[in-house]
Structure 1
Amino acid sequence: MTTVKIGGVPEHFNLAWYLTLKDGEYKQENINLRWEDYPGGTGAMSEALRTGEIDMAVILTEGIIKDIAEGNPSKVVQIFVETPLIWGVHVAAGSEFKSIEDLKGKRCAISRFGSGSHLMAYINAENHGWDLDTDLNFEVIQDLEGAVKALSNGDADYFMWEKFMTKPIVDSGVFRRIDNCPTPWPCFVIAVRDEFLKANENVVKIVLEIINNTTIDFKEIPSIDRMIANRYELQLEDVQEWLSLTEWSQSHLKAATVKEVQEKLMKLDILTEQKPYSEIVKNI
């Protein structure tokens, strides 16, 4: 039996992995798939791929493209979620900040440098015409729990995270969401370490086939909205809205998208050199 270590955020996007594991679908193919939650997100998973702590990751598109371009020995093998991620821009509920303009030059909480919360802060700043050198300041807070502490204690001023995951924190009166910032591209991809992919390409193909068979009909699973609401402690109506906005994918990442992401990161001065499509993506 081949062991495959895979990482992802403990969020509703990844419920399909839990369902296929629960049903023992990988074991039937002689694959021991071991899922690891990464609450720290993309930066933590990129590091885990680099060190060999995991073999595969379900990871934010812009984060892994940046990290591969900077030397992470991995490849993107498929898109996982086709639709953009909607990032909420959050402040402490009792703070004086009312609009995006109020946050110019303030301290942005990020899980770590190179993470999605870090990269999206740049995209949000660019969207509003800020000076990327002087209007962005960062406080590293590790994860969502760290962000709650930082904003509540006044150690940071705002925080960007997927809006439906943070909705319970908004509803409970800890955060206030003042705006949304969608990614300009498909939000999640599946990446695999080069060394593992070279030795186990057929195993990776089978893993992708199994997960794709579930995501292709994910929305048709009976009571899937209630299952998500219960498992992730979300309101049913929020889950239903999220499902209506979200499309999974079984397709390869296109060269045009890789180019667009790298060009955007170059423009934001958070990537110094573009890499060719073949060094970032392997279509298997």
Structure 2
Amino acid sequence: MKQVTIGGVPEHFNLAWYLTLKHGEYKDQGINLRWHDYPGGTGAMCKALRAKDIDIAIILTEGIIKDIIEGNPSKIVQTFVQTPLNWGIHVAQHSPYQTIEDLKGTKAAISRYGSGSHLMAYINAENNNWDLENDLNFEEIKDLDGAIQGLTNGTADYFMWEKFTTKPIVDRGVFRNIGNCPTPWPCFVIAVREDFIASHKEDLKIILDIINATTAEFKNIPNIDKTIANRYEQELSDVQEWLSITEWSQSLIDKDTIMNTQKELHALNIIPEIADYEKLTFKL
């Protein structure tokens, strides 16, 4: 049986992978797909792809584009979630900060440099006309648990993370959400190491066919809202809102989206150059 490793955040976006693995759909096709959780997010997965710890990553669009340009030998083979990611902007419950403008010049908690939480701090700063040189400061906190600790003890002032994932922490009175910042592009893509594409193209096609069949019908799975609410300890009404605004994709990210995303990242000095579409993507 072929051994394949895949990584992603342990969040509701990836439930379709859990369901297909639970049902043994990959094993039925002779593929032993092993899932690895990456609570640290995109920065941790970029590192894992480079180290060959994983073959495939379900990863944020902006993060993998940046890392491929910086030498990660991987390619985007498909969009996974078509809709933007809605990043909540959070402070500690007892923080003095009440508005996004209050955060100008304070310290953002980020999981890693090059991660989504790092890059989106720039997008938020740009949206609010901050000085990108002087109004952004960072504190690395690794993951959500690190953010809770960092905001609570004051080593960082605010933290950006997907708002439905952090909603239970807000509901518990640990964080306060003081605003949201959606990505200007589709949020999650499927990235694969180039050497894996070269040697396992047919296996990759099978894996994508299986997951795409599930995501295409995901919202129609009986009681899927209750399943998500129970598994990820979220309020049913929040899950239902999230389902209503989220669309999956079964196709490769298009050239215009890739180029527009890069223009935005380049304007913020997040990437040093704009790469060709073919450098970043691979069409199976």
* TM-score interval for Structure 1 and Structure 2 normalised by the shorter chain: over 0.9
Q: Structure 1 unaligned segments of length 5 or more: list them.
A: none
Q: Distance in 2 between matches of 1:119 and 1:112?
A: 10
Moved over 6 A (4+): none
Tell me which amino acid in the other structure corresponds to 2:216: I
Give the CA deviation at 1:262.
1.1
Three-state SS of the structure 1 residue aligned to 2:168 is: helix
Q: CA RMSD in A?
A: 0.5
Cα distance in structure 2, aligned partners of 1:2 and 1:58: 20
Which letter maps to 1:71? Answer: G
Q: Give the superposition deviation at 1:261.
A: 1.3
Structure 2 counterparts to residues 85-100 of structure 1, below 5 A: 85-100=85-100
1:2 CA drift (Å) = 0.9
Residue number in structure 2 paired with 1:75 = 75
Which structure 2 residues correspond to residues 95-114 of structure 1 after superposition, within 5 A?
A: 95-114=95-114
TM-score (norm 1): 0.99
Aligned residue type for 1:186: P
Equivalent positions of 1:243-258 (< 5 A) are 243-258=243-258
CA distance in structure 2 between the aligned counterparts of 1:217 and 1:7, rounded to whole angstroms: 22
Q: How many residues are aligned here?
A: 284
Residue by residue over 1:133-185, the C-alpha shift from the partner in whole angstroms, topping out at 9 and shown as x without a partner, is: 00000000000000000000011000000000000100010000000000001
User: Whole-Å Cα distance in 1 between the matches of residues 151 and 160 of structure 2?
Assistant: 12
1:266-281, aligned counterparts within 5 Å?
266-281=266-281
Deviations 1:90-132 (A, max 9, x none): 0001111010110000000000000000000000000000000
Give the structure 1 partner of residue 35 of structure 2: 35
Matches within 5 A, 1:236-247: 236-247=236-247
Counterparts of 2:7 and 2:29, CA distance in 1: 20
Partner of residue 84, structure 1: 84
Q: Given residue 201 of structure 2, which amino acid in structure 1 is its aligned partner?
A: E
The letter for the 2-side match of 1:201 is: K
SS at match of 2:5: strand
Give aligned-pair identity as a percent.
66
- Partner SS, residue 237 of structure 1: helix
The CA distance in 2 between the partners of 1:279 and 1:73, in whole Å, is 10
Amino acid at match of 1:57: A
**Partner in structure 1 of residue 234 of structure 2:** 234
Residue 195 of structure 1 deviates from its aligned partner by 0.5
Map 1:195-210 onto structure 2 (within 5 A): 195-210=195-210
Deviation at 1:270, TM superposition (A): 1.2
Match of 2:193 in 1: 193
Partner residue in 1 for 2:183 = 183
**Cα separation, 1, equivalents of 2:94 and 2:53:** 40
| Residue ranges of structure 2 left out of the alignment (5+ in a row) | none
| 1:273 Cα deviation after fit | 1.5
TM superposition shift of 1:265: 1.0
C-alpha separation in 2, matches of 1:283 and 1:125: 34
Partner Cα distance (2:121, 2:54) in 1: 27
- Find the residue that maps to 2:32 and give its secondary structure: strand
Task: Indicate the SS of the match to 2:180.
Answer: strand
* TM-score (normalizing by structure 2): 0.99
For residues 257 and 241 of structure 1, the distance between their equivalents in structure 2, rounded to whole angstroms, comes to 26
* Alpha-carbon separation, structure 2, partners of 1:53 and 1:190: 16
| 1:18 counterpart letter in structure 2 | Y
Cα distance in 2 for partners of 1:43, 1:238 equals 27
Q: Give 1:238 deviation, angstroms.
A: 0.4
What amino acid maps onto 2:65 in structure 1? I
Amino acid at match of 1:250: Q
